[in-house]
Chains A and B, each alone.
Chain A
Amino acid sequence: MIRDVLAKTVALVIALVVVGALAFASPLPKDVRVLLQNIEVYIAIYGIYVISLNLEVGYLGLPQFGKVMFLLIGAIAVGGIATKLVLLIYQNAIFKAMGAYPLAKISDYCMYYQYSVTSLVNQMLAQNPALGLGYFLFGVALAMVLSAGLGVLFAYPAIRLREDYLGILLLVSGEFLRVVTYYATPVACGVNGAVIPDPFAWALGETRTLVYFIATSAFLIATFLVFDAIGNSPFGRALRAIRDSETAAAVFGKDIVKFRIRVLAFASAFAGLAGALLAYYFDYTILGTYLPIYTFIGWTMLILGGLGNNVGAIVGVVVYYIVQTLLDIYKNSLQAVLHADPTYLAYAIFGLAIILVLMYRPQGIVPEKPVKTIDLNKVRERIQRKIK
């Protein structure tokens, strides 16, 4: 089992190295390489997001319709908390340069001075890469902790209820948090959005993208390793048992509520990590844009790739991004063939793809396989040897 997980992880590492080399050190035209570089970063971030969704939906059968909430919490951790911490650290230098403390009047800062202050902070972070790294890791860790806590908190009222009630509660919780934080300026500059200092301000141009590619790939590899190990552990097998028949699992002594809480906390933490990475990568976040569509994009990726296995989750993300990018590039050409407005083409194609996959290949591109466990005879032999 361990060897299987490690082999898959090694395959992922090799794939990332190959596509990384293609994007950063190949003779492809620069404009194509730049697109590949950025798509790879998105795939790595959304890979983490969809793998975490897979644990909830694919392994446990939890109706996670509020997944975008954790991207939002990640953005709040970075744009609303970690950013303010850096501003506090540099507040005296900012006061010297601009004559005002940035957080003294948050509404003015958000509306007028964010870019000037952030530009100054970036210059200072460029001189202090260690602090930049600390700020990056703090934001990431905070996002994970907050997401885990809030994930359980928001789901708790319906954690014992039937799946549909829990799904609706999670969906509503995501919207509730989005609307409340979007209109609260102190959280992350509300409707203006938060400009985020760059933790890797020392890296410019393509180097910056390379740093983000390495960072996001490392997190993706770690996420894959952890989630695949969990999925193939006794814990993972218990999750599948609950998914397939809650009643049967309960009869065998499995506490369904405890499993739900653990999975929600663990998966939410990693979705929060994806949200934090996205916010850092963009240097900017506006909380009002974390709409439920991002939950359903995650579901689309997962359904296409295959539920209940992490390879399928990553394949779904890759296929989604490649198809979407090709559609963006060629939709105007397709318009001539289809004689239709291409604006909604991507929505139509992905909608159709989901219907077709669910009708003809509900297991997705990469189907779930039974978990390999150690042969019972080998277990008996080991026990016998120990007894002797």
Chain B
Amino acid sequence: MEALFAPEEQEAPTGPLLRVHDLRRSFTVSGTRIDVLKGCSLEVARGEVVAVVGQSGSGKSTLLNIIGLLDSADSGEHVFDGVDVTRLREGQRARLRNERIGFVFQQFHLLERRSALANVSVPLVLAGVPLVRRRAIARELLESVGLGDRLSSQPHQLSGGEQQRVALARALSLNPALILADEPTGALDKASSTMIMDQLLDHARSRNTAVIVVTHDPEVAARADRTVTMSEGRILPAEEE
């Protein structure tokens, strides 16, 4: 598999993994313009775990969506892995998202009526990994999150914690450079939350994968290398947090 955005093909990816600067994003709802991001700036180093906290409506999810290439900023600088993503075409953004970014959502977003193995395989399918190889990778990842005996279970047959572990295995399937976790423990009990965060951070640190985790949970935020706070569409300077 030839990766378009493999680090060796980029110009010396020695800088931060992610750099967003002065990002602005607004939406028009019923004729009223709402500025959600008002000049948001953030840098994340390779392998760094950053927690993003802030009140609801502060723009955390919008920032995460833009960083994850699910949305685009109206203006501002956005460089990921040495690539200016604002200049990429839709297909290139999709491929970058597929190969270099993993997602863990609060609501898991597993495909219904598909087995755990099939769910973990989806990014591999999109990356063009052959069937046998992707099954092996998916199996290995599910075993690594403790679901080796639930390979053929469908989402509705799994608990919330188990579903989130499947989602975590899926996020890790292509060994991304960055994992974006939007309230990954928001729908889980305390024991499951702890287990998910343990596994997420263990995998990330062992693979030098950066993690940006949006959370309201102080315990989750406390496990990050760094916590940034968002308020009214901006990331507050450290001294104001």
Please indicate whether A and B come from the same complex rather than being unrelated chains. no
Q: Could you list which residues of chain B lie within 8 angstroms of chain A, going by C-beta atoms? A: none
